[in-house]
């Protein structure tokens, strides 16, 4: 029989109030409280806390504060990554960010979701004194590949992959995966043209 954590990572319905998730959140809140009080100039301490918070982190990574995440441990970041201020990462499942990635201010990445139909969304037989959550929850991973630029205020929903070197325009709501080497904008986000993948000036 699968644990609630195993169900979660497999994209199945799971009990988000299971003690394992409560512990994840408590640890993340503690580290975030410390991180978000640190000045920008205290780069060594900032990096040390991110290393403790995230599942993995490469070199030359900057995360602006305030920063909010759910568990932290499900965030995997490559090298040469800039995440600007006021970003929210709901990392109930994996959020994987490649190298050479820019993420602008106010970007929201969500892995958690609920069934659309009310009959499926409500937990069968739920009672107010139950330890279970009143509605069903599942979580799907989000991947941002190497070389991407995610514009300000972008929202990325569960299960989305953004391919290598792609750019997502400010304010977009990304409901479907974006192929590599694409410029995508809008709500819902759609590809408007292809980019010269991997080519550099000079």
Q: Under a CB-based contact definition with an 8 Å cutoff, are residues 90 and 69 in contact?
A: yes
How far, in Å, are 14, 38, 70, 86, 189 from residue 58 at the CA level? 31, 20, 20, 21, 29
Phi, psi of 39 (to 5 degrees): -70, 155
Q: Under a CB-based contact definition with an 8 Å cutoff, are residues 122 and 136 in contact?
A: yes
Q: Is 17 a catalytic residue?
A: no
Residue position matching structure tokens 């004194």? 129
Question: Distance of alpha carbon 109 from its chain centroid, rounded?
Answer: 4
- Residue 67 tokens read as 């920063």
- Assign residue 79 a region (left: φ > 0; alpha: ψ between -120 and 50; beta: otherwise): beta
Task: State the catalytic residue, choosing from 17, 73, 114, 190.
Answer: 114
Catalytic residues: 114
């Amino acid at each position: 029989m699968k644990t609630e954590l195993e169900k979660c990572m497999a994209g199945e319905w799971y009990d988000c109030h299971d003690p394992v998730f409560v512990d994840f959140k408590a640890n993340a809140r503690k580290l975030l409280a410390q991180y978000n009080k640190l000045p920008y100039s205290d780069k060594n301490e900032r990096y040390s806390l991110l290393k403790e918070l995230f599942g993995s982190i490469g070199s030359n990574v900057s995360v602006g504060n305030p920063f909010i995440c759910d568990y932290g441990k499900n965030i995997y970041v490559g090298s040469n990554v800039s995440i600007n201020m006021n970003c929210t990462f709901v990392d109930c499942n994996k959020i994987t960010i490649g190298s050479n990635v820019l993420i602008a201010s106010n970007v929201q990445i969500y892995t958690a979701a609920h069934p659309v139909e009310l009959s499926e969304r409500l937990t069968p037989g739920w009672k107010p004194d139950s330890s279970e959550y009143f509605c069903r929850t599942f979580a799907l991973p989000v991947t941002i590949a190497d070389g991407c630029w995610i514009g300000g205020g972008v929202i990325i929903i569960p299960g989305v992959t953004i391919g290598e070197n792609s750019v997502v325009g400010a304010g977009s709501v990304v409901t479907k995966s974006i192929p590599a080497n694409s410029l995508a904008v809008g709500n819902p986000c759609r590809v408007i043209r292809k980019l010269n993948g991997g080519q550099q000036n000079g």
